[in-house]
Structure formats: structure tokens, C-alpha cells
Amino acid sequence: MIRSSILISGDPLSLSRGAEATKLAIEAELVFYGLEDEVRVGYTGRIGNTDALPAVIVYPEGTVYGPVSPEAGAAIVEEHLYKGRRLEDLVLPIEVAPGAIEAPSAVGDMLSGQRRVVLKRAGTIDPYSIDDYIAYDGYFALGKALTNMAPNEVLETVKASGLQGRGGAGFPAGLKWSFVAQQPAPTRYIVCNADESEPGTFKDRLILEGDPHAVLEGMALAGYAVGANEGWIYIRGEYAMAKDILNHAIAAAEDMNLLGDNILGSDFSFHIHVHAGAGAYVCGEETALLNSLEGLRGIPRVRPPYPTVSGFRGKPTVVNNVETLANVAPIILNGVDWFRSIGTERSPGTKVYTMLGDVNVTGLVETPMGTTLREIINVYGGGMKGGKAFKAAQTGGAAGSIIAPALLDVPMDYATMLQHGATLGSGALLICADDTCIVDLAYVLMRFFAAESCGKCVPCRLGTLRMMECLERLRQGRGTSDDLEELQRMAQQVIQTSFCGLGQGAPVSILSALRHFREEFDAHVAGTCPTGTCPMSGPVETAVELHDYFSIERS
């Protein structure tokens, strides 16, 4: 009989700091005390947002320890599990661990507002154990759909729930599904976009590492709803651990007939494959992703036709983000009314944010849609670091917007943010205090786009480079007011004429920075950086060297 469960953070960072040795020491000590049949040991993804790694959680108490060396691991077994006393010296304060765990009895007021739908199980279950997932209502939604619901009912339920795509654009998921379901083609595909490359965003990685089956179940439900029998997960090449966990989860689900042929004895078959990328931000754009999935250069395709009509291998394809798919099973299981009771009228449900920068607590937070930035900073972020004043937030990753203090009290959902000229995007919240230089920030953002532009269209390929050079001149104190005009004009042109979302999103942060922080740009033109961050001297960085086909053939 299992009475306790120990989870060790098994993310790459923890592993590099000896998580495996800690796990072995814990297991050995459990054998020593004869507890091996009573206590289960497993890995989980990253625990909370602490740097005290590897971290260890002991359930059912939900006590978090860190950093846990092999010796400390042995001591936890002896003291906590054998003698029943907490090792107070090693216990992490609650505020460092809210990101990934929920232990209702153990947390203070701080987490009371978090509403876990997507992250309900992450950090609580062992992602390598399908039994754990099933024990927490896993695959119940798929079972319910296959036995009691027609495909169209599943589709209508998701449509009625108002679930919006969580990748950034907020497109209604149910509508996208219905476009695919309407296509007469005999073959359709479900593609999970796990190419999470938006700087500052790592929610999808933590969902995949902490609760992989939630995504698999969501994909199977999507397949059932639209009549697809094959699904592909396109995961970015850098996420080696998440890929390993996914492959393991798929095999486990196939063993139990929860994926594969004739799932649970029904007529529905669904197979899932994992495809790793090789490092390219643009592959997060859905048509570039599809090209990469087909073994091509990851450049975007002409739209229309949209992927819902002609996607993977030219067949109708649903492309959904990881977080979107993780919402599907709870909606099917708990119903539309339940889902609509969370969040706002126009954007029901929760949103997972990654909070970074000048706050006391950085990491993952899941709150209902419509929560204000002020609440997120003060409640979940534990306030501004060092009591500094809030200056700006960069929301939605590099392609998002820079927002000013005036927007702190705006309820954050897709539509409301858009009304205020801001975006929710991928859910990254980079909080900047008053010692952050906006010009410097804008430069770093544009450098990213100049490096990641795929080169297909001229406005993006050259426009991002020219804007980066303008900002570089400003940082070096060599900028003129002409540069500001140029920046403004170029930003507009790149938005209007770029081929895909990458170019169309690149100048958004520049325009919002110019709108809210014009005086700071003017100060740079006048020769001073108000925060003293910028070098205000130095040579212009030259453009990235590119090699071409001919040079490699000649060499």
C-alpha cells in the first residue's frame, strides 16, 4: 500500500545538479528503512521557480525541500518519512514554490486566487506514470466521448465553451475544428504546436514535462471530433526531456489501448507521432511548422489556403497549441457551464503565464482570464523586487507589446488587451522596474527578430535589420530625430507588408514603446540614457554573416 509519494525535480537543470544521485540515495534509504513498498519515488518537471535545485516534494503533505543533495535526500527519508518530522532547515518557503505545485492544506493566502485547469496535475503526478494520470481523472473525458458522445457533440461542446487558442492569436478552437470537420477529404490531421520559442515563454514545456497525457488526450479528442486518425506533435529541438516524456507517454497509452487502433474497443483509432525541430523561431508559425514537419526549410506558406483546408501533406489539418489542447479534456469532462464560469465572457477559462523580470517570485502562474496585471504582480509575483517602481511590462513575448503603468488595471484577456493596443500573446510577462532602459530593451527585442527572420520576404528580412541598426545608433548616442521618424515609418511598413506573423509581430513592441515612452527615445537622441544602461558609445554592430550554397560548394 502506497502511503506517500516523493517527486524529484527532473528538469535538465536539476539533472545537471545531481537530481539522479539524489533519487538513487532516496531509493536506497527507503530500502534501508523497509519503506520501498509504501513510498513511491518519481521524477516530475521543474518544481516551482526556485533555483534551489534539485527540489523534492513529499506528498501527501506537499512539503517542498531544496536543494536536496544525496545526503539530504537520505535525511529526508529518515526524518520525514520514517520519523515523521519535517526537516525544517531544508524546507523551501512557500513563496519560492507556487509555480508548479498545488498542495491545498500547505499553502497560505498567496495561492488562493490561482485556478488550476491546465496545471492541475503538473507537479503533483509522476509524468512517467499513466496510472497517476488516470487516478486524477485522466482519459475519463476520452472514455466519455467515445461511449456517450457523437463526434459532432464533442465539437459542439468545444465550440460552445468558447475556448480560444492559447498560442497567442486567441482564435476560437472550436471554430477551427469545425472548418476541418467540414472538409470532404478522407484524411485529416491533428498537429500539436509545441515549438515554443517565444522568448520568456516556457509554459508548454512545463505542461509537457509535468502532464504529457493531458495533451495526448486533448489531441485524441480533437481527432475524434474532426475525424482525424493521426496526430503529430512538433516539439522544438531544444526540449529533449519533454520529447522523451512524450514518447514514453504515447507508448504507455498505446499499451493500455487509450491510443492506437480501436481505442477502448470503439471504432475510433488515433496514432500520435513526435517530431523534433532543429532550432528556428519561425517554425512556431503554423504553415512554417507544417513545412518543417514535411522535412523542408521552415518558411511560411501562402495563406489561403489555410491549414484547415490544405495543411500537413496537403490535407485538412488542425494546428493547436499545447495549452489549448490541455484544456480540451477538462471541458469535455466538466461541461461548458463549468468552463464558462471561469474567466471572462469573451475569453472563458484560465491562462498560464510565465512571469519574469523584476518581481520577487518568477515562474508559472495560472489564473482566470481577466485577472489584472497588478494582481498578478502583487499577489503571485510577490510584489516588485527590492520595492522598485513598476515601469513597463512586456507581454506576450518578443512579438508582444510593451505596456505602461496605465494598463496595470486592465483585465487581461485577448479582446480587452487588443482594445488597448496590447497583446496577451503567449502569456509571457516580463516585468521591468524603473531602472530598465526601454530603448535598450527594444534593441534586444529587434536583434532577436533580425536573427530569427527566415529571409523569405524582404520587409521582414531587411526591415528588422534596419530597425535594429536605428536602435543601435540610439543606444550608442549617435541617433538623430530622423532615426525616430525612420523607426516609426519602418515599423508601420513592416507590419503592413510582411508575409507572416513573425514580421507582422516584430515591430509591435517598438511602436508601443514609442507610444508610451517617447520621452525616453528623445533623451537618447539628445545624448543621454536616463537609466544609465546604454553604452552611449561604440561601433555599429555589423550584420550577421551568412554563408550561402555557393561558398560551401567552393570551399
Q: Which of 293, 379, 494, 502 binds other proteins (CB under 8 A)?
A: 293
**Per-residue contact flags (x/-) with other proteins for residues 160 to 199, judged by CB under 8 A:** ------------------------------------xxxx
Query: Measured on CA atoms in the order 138, 139, 140, 142, is the torsion positive or negative?
Result: positive
User: Under the criterion CB under 8 A, does residue 368 sit at the interface with other proteins?
Assistant: no
Other residues' Cβ atoms within 10 Å of the Cβ of residue 368: 21
User: Under the criterion CB under 8 A, does residue 447 sit at the interface with other proteins?
Assistant: yes
User: Under the criterion CB under 8 A, does residue 458 sit at the interface with other proteins?
Assistant: no
Binding piece for other proteins, criterion CB under 8 A, among 34-42, 71-79, 362-370, 475-483: 362-370
Total of residues contacting other proteins (CB under 8 A): 62
User: Under the criterion CB under 8 A, does residue 281 sit at the interface with other proteins?
Assistant: yes
User: Under the criterion CB under 8 A, does residue 96 sit at the interface with other proteins?
Assistant: no
User: Under the criterion CB under 8 A, does residue 280 sit at the interface with other proteins?
Assistant: yes
Q: Closer CB to other proteins, residue 59 or residue 448?
A: 448
In single-letter form, the type of residue at position 478 comes to R
CB of 157 to other proteins, least distance (A): 32
Q: Closer CB to other proteins, residue 293 or residue 412?
A: 293
Query: For residues 318 and 322, what is the distance between their CA atoms, to the nearest angstrom?
Result: 12
Query: For residues 103 and 5, what is the distance between their CA atoms, to the nearest angstrom?
Result: 13
Using CB under 8 A as the binding rule, the residues of this chain from 4 to 33 that contact other proteins are 12-13, 16
Question: Which cell goes with 333?
Answer: 469532462
Among 163, 293, 153, CA closest to 221? 153
Residue count of the chain, please give it: 555
User: Under the criterion CB under 8 A, does residue 51 sit at the interface with other proteins?
Assistant: yes
**Per-residue contact flags (x/-) with other proteins for residues 194 to 213, judged by CB under 8 A:** --xxxxxxx--x--------
CB of 281 to other proteins, least distance (A): 6
Q: Which of 117, 319, 424, 428 binds other proteins (CB under 8 A)?
A: 428
In contact, 166 and 207? CB cutoff 8 Å: no
Task: For residue 288, give the 3-state DSSP assignment.
Answer: helix
Q: Closer CB to other proteins, residue 336 or residue 364?
A: 364
Q: What is the DSSP string of 378-391?
A: IIIS-SBGGGPPEE
**Per-residue contact flags (x/-) with other proteins for residues 237 to 256, judged by CB under 8 A:** xxxx----------------
Binding piece for other proteins, criterion CB under 8 A, among 82-90, 173-181, 441-449, 498-506: 441-449
User: Under the criterion CB under 8 A, does residue 54 sit at the interface with other proteins?
Assistant: no
Question: Which cell goes with 428?
Answer: 509571457
Strands in 56-59's sheet, in edge-to-edge order, are 39-44, 4-9, 56-59, 63-65
Query: For residues 387 and 473, what is the distance between their CA atoms, to the nearest angstrom?
Result: 32
Q: Closer CB to other proteins, residue 96 or residue 155?
A: 96
Binding piece for other proteins, criterion CB under 8 A, among 60-68, 253-261, 374-382, 436-444: 436-444
Q: Closer CB to other proteins, residue 97 or residue 412?
A: 97
Q: Give the Cα-Cα-Cα angle 57, 8, 382 (nearest 5 degrees).
A: 55
User: Under the criterion CB under 8 A, does residue 430 sit at the interface with other proteins?
Assistant: yes
Q: Which of 298, 311, 370, 503 binds other proteins (CB under 8 A)?
A: 298
Q: Which of 70, 162, 277, 425 binds other proteins (CB under 8 A)?
A: 277
User: Under the criterion CB under 8 A, does residue 99 sit at the interface with other proteins?
Assistant: yes
Please report how the helices 203-210 and 240-255 are oriented relative to each other, as an axis angle in degrees rounded to 10: 40
Query: Measured on CA atoms in the order 452, 457, 461, 466, is the torsion positive or negative?
Result: negative
User: Under the criterion CB under 8 A, does residue 476 sit at the interface with other proteins?
Assistant: no
User: Under the criterion CB under 8 A, does residue 547 sit at the interface with other proteins?
Assistant: yes
Query: For residues 464 and 42, what is the distance between their CA atoms, to the nearest angstrom?
Result: 46
Strands in 189-194's sheet, in edge-to-edge order, are 271-276, 230-235, 189-194, 317-321
Residues 6+ apart with CB under 8 A from 22: 8, 54, 56, 68, 69, 70, 72, 73
User: Under the criterion CB under 8 A, does residue 296 sit at the interface with other proteins?
Assistant: yes
Among 287, 280, 152, 270, CA closest to 218? 270
Q: What is the DSSP letter of 428?
A: E
Using CB under 8 A as the binding rule, the residues of this chain from 330 to 359 that contact other proteins are 354-358
Q: Which of 444, 462, 523, 536 binds other proteins (CB under 8 A)?
A: 444
CB of 13 to other proteins, least distance (A): 5
Half-sphere exposure in the Cβ direction for 145 (13 Å, CA): 35
Query: For residues 115 and 133, what is the distance between their CA atoms, to the nearest angstrom?
Result: 19
User: Under the criterion CB under 8 A, does residue 97 sit at the interface with other proteins?
Assistant: no
Query: For residues 507 and 442, what is the distance between their CA atoms, to the nearest angstrom?
Result: 9
Q: Which of 182, 251, 279, 515 binds other proteins (CB under 8 A)?
A: 279
In single-letter form, the type of residue at position 456 comes to K
Other residues' Cβ atoms within 10 Å of the Cβ of residue 346: 14
Interface residues toward other proteins, by CB under 8 A:
12-13, 16, 49, 51, 99, 196-202, 205, 237-240, 275-281, 292-299, 354-358, 362-364, 394, 398, 428, 430, 432, 436, 440-441, 444-445, 447-448, 451-452, 454, 545, 547, 549, 552-553, 555
